[in-house]
Structure 1
Amino acid sequence: MTSTHESPAPNPHATAEQVEAAMKDSKLAQVLYHDWEAESYDDKWSISYDQRCVDYARGRFDAAVPEEVQRELPYDRALELGCGTGFFLLNLIQAGVARRGSVTDLSPGMVKVATRNGQGLGLDIDGRVADAEGIPYEDNTFDLVVGHAVLHHIPDVELSLREVVRVLKPGGRFIFAGEPTTVGNRYARELSTLTWHAATNITKLPFLRDWRRPQTELDESSRAAALEAVVDLHTFDPADLERMATNAGAVEVRTASEEFTAAMLGWPVRTFEAAVPPGKLGWGWAKFAFGSWTSLSWVDANVWRRVVPKGWFYNVMVTGVKPGSAAEPAGT
């Protein structure tokens, strides 16, 4: 059964005046940017709900939490904070991490897509438009809270983590993955900017015009990028993220990081894909991009992690537990 809490309607076409206002209001920018992106977000980031992304989501979970936790799955009820299109929670449920879940996001468009995706998969999901600094659920509601690439969008991260701890049952766990480190974000941004300028200028050449997206689409992408710069509020040092989680009342706090050389490839690849017409690159390119990213991720995990500081990797994950007795196992 899938239900959606009564929510504001999505606004996928922000006006110039709204964009200008959003430049001074980060939460308005969050709504406009993510409503804008909602219907195309899965395609933009190659998100799917098949075995490829099920394995990816489960891999992030397993990399962050202790092995003894992995042996006691599934959790009964889970919440995804800043759900986007539901990528993390929907794939974790399919991976056996949780039985049922709720999705929340500040963007009505994202909640609409996430609940629709859950319905299409036949999962037990409900959705609400919600501010992560004031989660609209009672104390001690969830066994698990998850999020992917969400904390860096939240103005007061520690307040949000306090809310996460509040809605967890005693002994319940949270895990947030896909958060940018300060060092990793710096090189990712620089590589993306260089790739965008190179691709959009080279495709002005007469013999490459078929590879150039219409100027109106490029301009819209530039406006979206301007909003993206407003909605990306934080980068993290792993130690600072651990401190915030501990201050929020969590115990057993730990971080892990991933993607070093994989990020140095992945960001230029994604930027190039956004600069050329959809479908132009074809299946061969997609296979090359994913295979290369997978290979470099293995090298990062098995070689570079031994010698490169944790904070130099692009992504950081954090997990922790609400103090108290362990959450009741599913089905008991």
Structure 2
Amino acid sequence: MTASPEPPAVRHLAAVQDPDPAPNPHATEEQVQAALQDTKLAQVLYHDWEAENYDEKWSISYDRRCIDYAVGRFTAIAPGAPVPYGRALELGCGTGFFLLNLMQGGIASTGSVTDLSPGMVQVALRNARNLGLPVDGRVADAETIPYDDDTFDLVVGHAVLHHIPDVEQALRECLRVLKPGGRLLFAGEPTTVGNFYARWLGRMTWQATTRVTRLPFLSGWRRPQTELDSSSRAAALEAVVDLHTFDPAELERIARSAGAAAVHAHTEEFAAALWGWPVRTFEAAVPEEKLTLRYRLFMYRAWLGLSWLDEKLLRRVVPREFFYNVMITGIKPR
């Protein structure tokens, strides 16, 4: 007797329960060399290497500061959206920064996270447990999302599209797993112009900081050479994992081509990026204990002030493609 096929809900549950690969935070030199020719392997190795320290590196938290940031990005591009959404998916979740803070801010009730990096999924789920948030997760390729059609009310991502080889295919998959009328929203993507000046500022700051801290009277401000070498190797892989920059109008075209309706791109951070990238690079080059709470508060308030200047003044006179970050949103047609 032929067994009847499993219903979609059972198939989905079985998929969620399949064991995911283990993180690999200590890639061998052979693996790194192979990753230089294989972008998806590079994504896994780089992000597994970063996972446990990623929140610290980027000053990510799950308190009011980052809740306000995440909700602010959402409301900037989707004002008046019908929140809270029921079930949300974060694509390329990293440590869960965007979705977990959106959930804490009342944008979504339950969540799922996916990432190509097992290490990132592991940290994101741990962060969700620590926050008491109802979140499940899978190691998954953004171009083949392992969930059924019409599953989610909202799909989000932060700084993920520029890592995906086929962005249009990934957006098409997002629309597939969205319910009709559901929304996709991606933030934190680099513009082409913004990426140029951010990388230039970062390189100059790194070189200046690492050279100056060689002076004997500043040796206490220098990270151990092994840590600096490790950061340099990571930067080499970063050049492999960062695949795209975006012109806002072109990103809108890609989203429409994928099938999204009501597509809109919004850019932010011009003065804030010109300030922020040297600051982030400096912080990566000096010992953690040198970055006092007073210093961190000063830098954060400066960033807030420059972001206010961007929104209230510079947005009116600077073309949108000159801003560093681009966000994109769209709706799955009913």
What's the TM-score once normalised by structure 2's chain length?
0.94
Unaligned runs of 5+ in 1: 325-332
**1:1-332 counterparts in 2 under 5 A?**
6-65=19-78, 67-69=79-81, 72-324=82-334
Given that 1:64 and 1:256 are in contact with CA atoms closer than 8 Å, whether structure 2 keeps it comes out as yes
Cα offsets for 1:4-46 (capped at 9, x unmatched):
7521000011111111111111000000000000000000000
Letter in 2 for 1:154: I
Residue identity in the other structure for 2:76: A
Inter-partner Cα distance in structure 1 for 2:295 and 2:60: 16
Alignment-mate amino acid for residue 177 of structure 2: V
Any conservation in 2 of the 1:4–1:128 contact (CA below 8 Å)? no
Across the aligned residues of Structure 1 and Structure 2, the Cα RMSD in angstroms comes to 0.9
Q: Residue by residue, what CA displacement relative to the aligned partner does 1:103-133 show, whole Å, maximum 9, x if unpaired?
A: 0000000000000000000000001000000
Deviations 1:244-291 (A, max 9, x none): 000000000001000001001111000000001112121111011111
The whole-number CA distance in structure 2 between the counterparts of 1:214 and 1:274 is: 12
Aligned residue pairs, count? 319
Alpha-carbon distance between aligned partners in 2 of 1:319 and 1:93, rounded to the nearest angstrom? 18
Whole-Å Cα distance in 2 between the matches of residues 95 and 283 of structure 1?
Answer: 25
Q: Tell me the alpha carbon deviations over residues 74-131 of structure 1, each in whole angstroms, 9 at most, x when there is no partner.
A: 0000000000000000000000000000000000000000000000000000010000
**Partner Cα distance (1:96, 1:289) in 2:** 28
Instruction: Provide the C-alpha distance between the structure 1 equivalents of 2:193 and 2:28, rounded to a whole number of angstroms.
Output: 34
Q: Secondary structure at the match of 2:46?
A: helix
CA distance in 2 between partners of 1:318 and 1:81 (Å): 14
**Alignment-mate amino acid for residue 300 of structure 1:** D
What code does the residue aligned with 2:86 have? D
User: 1:5 touches 1:126 (CA, 8 Å); kept in 2?
Assistant: no
CA distance in structure 1 between the aligned counterparts of 2:189 and 2:17, rounded to whole angstroms: 27
Task: String of CA shifts for 1:107-163, please: whole Å, max 9, x gaps.
Answer: 000000000000000000001000000000011000000000000000000000000
Would you say the 8 A contact 1:81–1:132 is kept in 2?
A: yes
Q: How far apart are the structure 2 equivalents of 1:75 and 1:286?
A: 34
Contact 1:4–1:115 (8 Å) recurs in 2: no
CA distance in 1, matches of 2:57, 2:306: 21
- Secondary structure of 2:113's match? strand
1:285-327 deviation digits (Å, cap 9, x = unpaired): 1011111111000000110000111100000000000000xxx
Percent of residue pairs identical: 70
Amino acid at match of 1:189: R
Partner Cα separation in structure 1 for residue 206 and residue 242 of structure 2 = 19
Is contact 1:155–1:233 with CA below 8 Å preserved after alignment? yes
Verify the 8 A CA contact 1:179 1:235 in the aligned structure 2. yes
Matched residue of 1:174: which SS? strand
Structure 2 SS opposite 1:284: helix
